[in-house]
Structure 1
Amino acid sequence: MPRTPPSRDVQRERRAWIRETDQWRHERHVEKGYRIKWGYVGIAYLVEAMVIGASLWGAWLFAGYYSDGDPRAFYFMLLAPLVYAAVELCRVPLGILARTQRSFVVRVLAIIGIVFAAGVTTKSVSQLGEMMFHPRLMDAAKAKTALKDAQADRSTIDGRIGAADARVAQYTTELDQIEKRATENATQLAGLPAQRCERISGTNSRGQRYSNLKCVTDPRTATLNASVAKAGADRGLVVKSLEDARKARAELDRGAADRKVADAEQAYRNAVNRSQLHSFTAMVYGVDPIDVTDAQVHAFLRIFVFVPALCAAFASTILALCSVSVRKTFMDEDDLGATVDPAATPYMLDSITDAIREEMGLQQPKPAAARDAAAAREAAAGGAVIPIDRRPAASAPTAVPASAGAGA
């Protein structure tokens, strides 16, 4: 299908409409005294929306993590972030107001509002930055605590081994004493005479005869039996305590303590290597990541958290400030695009000449013919005023000679 060429009239109308639109926009900007580039403002609002969304989402996660399942505490923790988000939303409009308002007081108030809103944004973004580094820092802190415990355990292993050996020796001595006492009691009990039994017969009060078997035991037998029983009970307790002491002593191994310290050091090194904050701190201070101190880490954390937070707080505001173009020559003729019609030039020159004459205290201007004659005389006499408008005076139409008319 052949393509038809576009209509020239339509193209002319489209170009004319575009020129008229641009002219209207230009005149509107001139009347306002400034021009706003809405594309940049849109980007600033997009950045602001991303910051507000990330802040609210971080506050939601923060409240869910630290509210411990209490719904009331959860919603209480979300009230302040909502207010902070509303304050952050005011930064871009305040930046535009700081550029477009002509009142100095209003501009100062807008700048103060920008600083306050930026402070709120810095707080929210710094909290997000700390939450970003928090899991790795907690892992490193736990690994460091385990390492310190292992090192402390190794440093006291000798003392605890000595104490455990002393307890084992004490219980062994007590067991030996109990065994010795029990043996002596058993020997004494075995050396006692056997029980003697004899038959006793007689007549009771009723006159009846009786006959019973009576056994007589050595009085020392009961005492020795009680001593043997007590020795058996004491022996059971001491044996149990001795087993526990020997078990505790078996757990105290210098090699195991060294291996525990080595494992803790490796775990701490792995946790530190996973923490980019430790890596950057070690790179700045020129030390091994495992050798950086908590003070160095937190000093670098302040840089990593607050500096990006300040940049995020002022980035969209600076973009909003730069999106406004203020016309420095507002209401100037050149800015307004004013042009002088050639037909109005004589009138403008006359008004300028009259103003000069009034300032110099001269007389009012005369008619054109008389003015030219007076100007010529003054010029010939060395006058100081030279007329600006030197157009030839309109001469009256001359009569045509009769002879010329007759000849025609």
Structure 2
Amino acid sequence: MLVRKPPDRIVARERRAWSDETAAWQQRRAVEKGYRIRWGYVAIAYVVEALVICTSLAGAWFFAQTYADPHDQSFWFMLLAPVVYAAIELCRVPLGILIRVQRDWLIKGLAVIGIVMAAGVTTKSVSQLGEMMFHPRLAEASKALSVLKEAQADRASLDTRISQADARVAQYTAESQALEKRSSEASSQLAGLPGQRCERLQGTNSRGRRYSYMRCVTDPRTATIAGSLKSAGDERAVLARNLAEARAARAALDRGASDRRVTEAEVAYRDAVRRSQLHSFTAMVYGVDPIDVTDQQVHAFLRIFVFAPALCAAFASTLLALCAVQVRRTYQDEDDLGVALNQEGVPLLLTQIAESAGQLDDAQRAVREAIAAGVAIPLDQRRPHGTPQGSPRPVPAGMTTASRGRDRELPRPRHP
């Protein structure tokens, strides 16, 4: 069983002293360098950069795996540029720190240019990830819309064919009715013609023989009308066959199946749009139904919804790195502490300096009077440099001969 011991006070004191000494050393070094870096914020910035790099490489891997064969060289070709982009990502945090700690404005300008370029690369990578986030739903909605448009096109084509079949049936029906009318008129005309006229002819031929026969005469219009009736009958047979075929073709064109297909496609498209977050946001912005948003509106909102977060992600870690550096003035600057003297306080400061100088003069005068009166003994009794050993010490100002004799009688302090 472990027994808890009280902490060693000497060890704790040494630890506190070591911590205080380390903090003082860090403070002195920060003052000498002119800046101090909050490494905790820098670590957070690097963690953000690491997340951006890892997600960008993972997105590039999935993108290449989707559009290229993993066993082909094109798969690895698609991963070369993302690796370079990931390497560029590592430059943004050091460049942000360099802007704060560098005193040369040319170097600061170059660092700003480098940050903008690296942020452009980050925007490209993060925007690609954002597009990949919305791509499955957009692809599903686009596929459903294509099926719907195809069904609507088929229905429009079916409507065209139905109208053509109806026109053909109406044409054959009209021709059949006209043919029936013409046949009826020909039959009426044929019935109204007079019948054959027959008469007996008698006579003697050239041989002297007598002949006798019956001759029937038909109206010449009868043959024409009969021929017209015969051709009308032939045309009626052809028209009857064509009309039957047209009616059969029209009966085969069923619009109900096409309407059901369009309805199913519309339902599928509505479901795909309902599952698409981008369509919902676009409809909310434009104030329309999600099913009524156009592709132009969706892609216009996609540019805002993808590029704006990409820009924020590109500059977030850089701004954190900029704020992680605390700049301060050094002893080499003109004003170490950054104190600004107010013009209104100059007279007061001069008055205080004059009072301090007067008090110092009064103190020195009192000391001289005390030494002259023999009340006080001067602290500096050393011989001036170069004075011979047997020569008397110089008498301080205001000190009399009597007081000097008393000074010999008193013991002199030893100087190290």
Q: 1:135 to 1:168 in 2, by over 3 A?
A: farther
2:32 touches 2:330 (CA, 8 Å); kept in 1?
no
- TM-score using structure 1 length: 0.63
Q: 1:324 to 1:294 in 2, by over 3 A?
A: same
Task: Tell me the equivalent position of 2:110.
Answer: 109
Task: Tell me the equivalent position of 1:59.
Answer: 60
Q: 1:113 to 1:251 in 2, by over 3 A?
A: farther
Q: What is the distance in 2 between the residues matched to 1:3 and 1:56?
A: 52
1:30 touches 1:331 (CA, 8 Å); kept in 2?
no
Q: What is the distance in 2 between the residues matched to 1:312 and 1:133?
A: 18
Q: What is the distance in 1 between the residues matched to 2:276 and 2:309?
A: 18
Task: Tell me the equivalent position of 1:157.
Answer: 158
Q: What is the distance in 2 between the residues matched to 1:67 and 1:40?
A: 40
Q: What is the distance in 1 between the residues matched to 2:57 and 2:272?
A: 30
Q: What is the distance in 1 between the residues matched to 2:298 and 2:277?
A: 11
- Structure 1 position 2, deviation (Å): 6.3
- Please show how residues 4-403 of structure 1 align to structure 2 within 5 Å: 4-68=5-69, 71-163=72-164, 252-328=253-329, 331=332, 389-390=361-362, 391-392=364-365, 394=368, 395=371, 396=396, 398-399=403-404
Q: What is the distance in 2 between the residues matched to 1:299 and 1:90?
A: 32
251-260 vs 78-87, greater mean Cα deviation: 251-260
21-30 vs 143-152, greater mean Cα deviation: 143-152
What letter corresponds to residue 55 of structure 2 in structure 1? Answer: A
Task: Tell me the equivalent position of 1:373.
Answer: none
- Structure 1 position 11, deviation (Å): 2.2
Q: What is the distance in 2 between the residues matched to 1:41 and 1:263?
A: 56
Paired positions, count: 286
Give secondary structure in 2 for the equivalent of 1:35: strand
Q: What is the distance in 1 between the residues matched to 2:307 and 2:135?
A: 15
Q: What is the distance in 1 between the residues matched to 2:24 and 2:70?
A: 63
Task: Tell me the equivalent position of 1:208.
Answer: none
Give secondary structure in 1 for the equivalent of 2:326: strand
Give secondary structure in 2 for the equivalent of 1:5: coil
- Structure 1 position 9, deviation (Å): 2.3
- Structure 1 position 67, deviation (Å): 2.1
What letter corresponds to residue 77 of structure 1 in structure 2? Answer: M
Q: What is the distance in 2 between the residues matched to 1:117 and 1:386?
A: 65
Task: Tell me the equivalent position of 1:230.
Answer: none
Q: What is the distance in 1 between the residues matched to 2:270 and 2:14?
A: 75
Q: 1:4 to 1:86 in 2, by over 3 A?
A: closer
Q: What is the distance in 1 between the residues matched to 2:296 and 2:165?
A: 39
Q: What is the distance in 2 between the residues matched to 1:330 and 1:154?
A: 86
Q: What is the distance in 1 between the residues matched to 2:4 and 2:163?
A: 105
**Percent sequence identity over aligned pairs:** 66
Give secondary structure in 2 for the equivalent of 1:156: helix
- Structure 1 position 152, deviation (Å): 2.5
Task: Tell me the equivalent position of 1:187.
Answer: none
What letter corresponds to residue 297 of structure 2 in structure 1? Answer: Q
Give secondary structure in 2 for the equivalent of 1:265: helix
Q: What is the distance in 1 between the residues matched to 2:335 and 2:161?
A: 95
Q: 1:145 to 1:250 in 2, by over 3 A?
A: farther
91-100 vs 250-259, greater mean Cα deviation: 250-259
Q: What is the distance in 2 between the residues matched to 1:47 and 1:89?
A: 11
Q: What is the distance in 2 between the residues matched to 1:387 and 1:163?
A: 122
Q: What is the distance in 1 between the residues matched to 2:112 and 2:57?
A: 25
Q: What is the distance in 2 between the residues matched to 1:2 and 1:62?
A: 61
Task: Tell me the equivalent position of 1:177.
Answer: none
Let me know the Cα RMSD of the aligned residues.
Answer: 3.4
Q: 1:256 to 1:320 in 2, by over 3 A?
A: same
- Structure 1 position 6, deviation (Å): 2.5
What letter corresponds to residue 254 of structure 1 in structure 2? Answer: R
Q: What is the distance in 1 between the residues matched to 2:113 and 2:308?
A: 20
Query: Unaligned stretches of 5+ in structure 2?
Result: 172-240, 338-356, 372-395, 411-416
Q: What is the distance in 1 between the residues matched to 2:3 and 2:84?
A: 64
326-335 vs 118-127, greater mean Cα deviation: 326-335
Residue by residue over 1:340-375, the C-alpha shift from the partner in whole angstroms, topping out at 9 and shown as x without a partner, is xxxxxxxxxxxxxxxxxxxxxxxxxxxxxxxxxxxx
Structure whose alpha-carbon radius of gyration is higher: 2
What letter corresponds to residue 156 of structure 1 in structure 2? Answer: S
Residue by residue over 1:24-81, the C-alpha shift from the partner in whole angstroms, topping out at 9 and shown as x without a partner, is 1101111111001111111101110110111111111111222256611111111111
Q: What is the distance in 2 between the residues matched to 1:82 and 1:153?
A: 48
